[in-house]
Structure 1
């Protein structure tokens, strides 16, 4: 009997995707360049309909036509290598799906190359980590819609399910799926950094214990801040180190890594004039964290504020932190969805923003309660310029901006670094300012470079002889 789908790349994500597919009734062929990972998966099988292959031609020939091949290998040259090794054995109408974190421009290049050969290519964003891959991730497929429809029955089955709906929807043409996943990761970077800054204020300024902060995050996860990242933060803070008995968080080295997608998000926004300052600051926060040795030395040389700190009412200021965190999250998601909107218009992708918010509700890392509200905002106003001006979030910002201002000001006065909370407040205040100081910038540019300027009162382009 021929297999219904094939999976190439049997690391943790690929193996779990294969197991997920098999558990949903698919006959799955699997292949890995090195035999060890294939054997490792085989040892875990308990009657699942997964058949291992150790030769790529035999793997391809085991699949029913049109062949459907899901690739889960490292982004970059590894994807190109897999595609090159598959093409000689494929026929017109066969489909390759790249489920890795490929850059969307690489996906578009591969799409064009394979389309010329009559082979379908889908760039599929997958979010949810190894658990999501096994139990149901959020899935963001991009490519030709008619190609997607041939694999949709499988993808919608293996996706996370929320209120009876799969967290999988056709995103758009060519590289749109991987683009949406890329920006999802940028939002994730910002969300994580905002939470870290909230934790820092609670611990360093309010002097709360790790256990007390875990209680606070658990409480927050019962309300409007309810999300996967808030939930796991509480669990992380509860974890004890087996060696010292101390909270594990206190023995983890404060150097954060990153795999590139956050950087790609910032670069794409900069290239296209899209303001994503919060996302970019979260990336820079990771970069500066990597300067651990320099920071330890600088701490012995550089001093912070000399003024004594006044005592703060803990209950009052814990609620200010909650408000600040919610405001920061609103602004970060507003930036991410603005990047979706502006890029969609740039490339004529027609990204379904209300559906993107809905598929993020399950499986993925940024799943959160307020994604339902975001989806509703775009349902009511499909061309909404920015989430901040939707009625719900405009009202929330009216209520919560005071908390954000208090936390940022107190943090600055206390010498605590708040890159993303500060960037959130700056973004909010910049966006709500009808007349900015950019008129002075334009005058300066015209003075030293004759770059010209426009006027508020008369149409046209002008230049002044300033000297």
Structure 2
């Protein structure tokens, strides 16, 4: 790509938190950026930040544009324009405005927002012949966008080949041997060593689908940590600071992750206004932007069990019912408070650490199985080892744990479920009793742990050779003649019992 002064290599439209930081990240990696936003103050803020961060002896790397026509005129061809605007109508609005401004057929428009994957598929078809619509999901939040996110691009392969150098430059990097992030939060000094956390995912929509599942796993992982917090706080009576210390310790082992790290930090933060632990001053009503819900809905549509992800969505929904919860807290009976000895508390904490690890494995197993079933339905060829690799840094669910997932899929690319990988089947088999003790304790103490509990039910369901679905099929055949298969006949053969007849007869359907 051209890097001559005053000629822009890439455009960025939408200079909110994510867009501005992506633009600065791209500029740090040696590309000239044309920046535009309908809000001129955001354009000025981006230019001012680039100026402040740029070394005095370096030429400007960012051009603020007053309109789309000016942006198009500044870009080398074929033009590459990154959209960082809210999902839905705003994406279509900008695309149509670019058509009016003179975008050309071989120009590439990259949607980096949290778009629903089916919208991405539809857009690629609708804008074909007008320009190349490409998509790249982004994970990592504000800091990730600025210094290295995880990027999940999908769509036109030729477009990917053209933008790949930029994507690999601005993506987060990991040490290929350890799987640990290589991080440096210095403007103008990007990380260039290590493996980039981006790879071509597949056809249109697949990248946003993978990001959607990433967010579903994120919902579950966050809720699992929150349940551990409540079990320690309500069950053992530990303070926020004490729990933060426990989480910090867990973060040094198999539970090492970004979410565990920040959870420890949140718990150890005092409120500037009252001096109490900040977490105790935050209202217990959780928000959501919909991607976790999309994941749960997709799992139901495809018929892929993802109960832990779904329970995480339900947990946020229950949290919003604050008034009702306050009312029912005085009306519904619960168990009496249990007092534990110091030795019992230590055992409880150790059990909980194992339970959290086991539930986390099941959470990822659900997400990867969902991606596999969606890929089969959509005829996508997804490389799950590569997907696990690009989640090792830059994204919200980055964790040492993902190195093990990467190896599991490298050893067996056709792995039907992560629970089948020896490293995970062995660890869950070794830890499951402590997991069960945690779930039993949560029930007996009346402390809700829907994700930890649903995960153990998921585990037990998959280790059960026979489930009570035989009775369920009998029920369905009784009231609706829905038929059933037999254990002693070839798979696929359907039978029906005439339940209403005086002498019930069996017939092959």
Q: What is the number of equivalent residue pairs in this alignment? A: 466
Q: Among 130, 133, 139, which residue is 2:145 paired with?
A: 133
Once the two structures are TM-superposed, the CA of residue 43 in structure 1 deviates from its matched residue by 2.5
Pairing 1:433–2:433 present: no
Gap runs ≥5 in structure 1: none
Once the two structures are TM-superposed, the CA of residue 205 in structure 1 deviates from its matched residue by 0.9
In 2, distance between residues paired with 1:87 and 1:308? Answer: 67
In 2, distance between residues paired with 1:12 and 1:309? Answer: 47
Does the residue aligned with 1:74 lie in a helix, a strand or coil? Answer: coil
Q: Among 254, 266, 276, which residue is 1:224 paired with?
A: 254
Aligned partner of 1:461 in structure 2 is 494
Once the two structures are TM-superposed, the CA of residue 28 in structure 1 deviates from its matched residue by 0.1
In 2, distance between residues paired with 1:308 and 1:55? Answer: 66
In 2, distance between residues paired with 1:316 and 1:399? Answer: 16
Aligned partner of 1:367 in structure 2 is 398
Aligned partner of 2:266 in structure 1 is 236
Once the two structures are TM-superposed, the CA of residue 45 in structure 1 deviates from its matched residue by 2.5
Aligned partner of 2:298 in structure 1 is 268
Pairing 1:289–2:327 present: no
Once the two structures are TM-superposed, the CA of residue 91 in structure 1 deviates from its matched residue by 1.1
Q: Alpha-carbon deviations, 1:53-110, whole Å to 9, x = none?
A: 0111111121100000000000011111011111231112110000000000000111
Once the two structures are TM-superposed, the CA of residue 306 in structure 1 deviates from its matched residue by 4.5
Pairing 1:414–2:419 present: no
Contact 2:236/2:340 (CA < 8 Å) preserved in 1?
A: no
Question: RMSD over aligned Cα, in angstroms?
Answer: 1.1
Once the two structures are TM-superposed, the CA of residue 42 in structure 1 deviates from its matched residue by 2.2
Does the residue aligned with 1:313 lie in a helix, a strand or coil? Answer: helix
Residues 59-78 of structure 1: matches in 2 within 5 Å? 59-78=71-90
Contact 1:128/1:137 (CA < 8 Å) preserved in 2?
A: yes
Once the two structures are TM-superposed, the CA of residue 441 in structure 1 deviates from its matched residue by 0.6
Q: Alpha-carbon deviations, 1:105-164, whole Å to 9, x = none?
A: 0001111112243x2222211000000000000000010222111000001100001121
TM-score using structure 1 length? 0.98
Q: Among 75, 99, 107, which residue is 2:112 paired with?
A: 99
Q: Among 241, 257, 264, which residue is 2:287 paired with?
A: 257
Contact 2:336/2:445 (CA < 8 Å) preserved in 1?
A: no
TM-score using structure 2 length? 0.90
Structure 1 runs (4+) deviating above 3 angstroms are 306-312
In 2, distance between residues paired with 1:76 and 1:271? Answer: 22
In 2, distance between residues paired with 1:405 and 1:21? Answer: 48
Asked which structure has the greater CA Rg, the reply is: 2
Aligned partner of 1:180 in structure 2 is 210
Does the residue aligned with 1:102 lie in a helix, a strand or coil? Answer: coil
Residues 292-311 of structure 1: matches in 2 within 5 Å? 292-306=322-336, 311=341
Gap runs ≥5 in structure 2: 1-5, 55-59, 176-193, 501-509
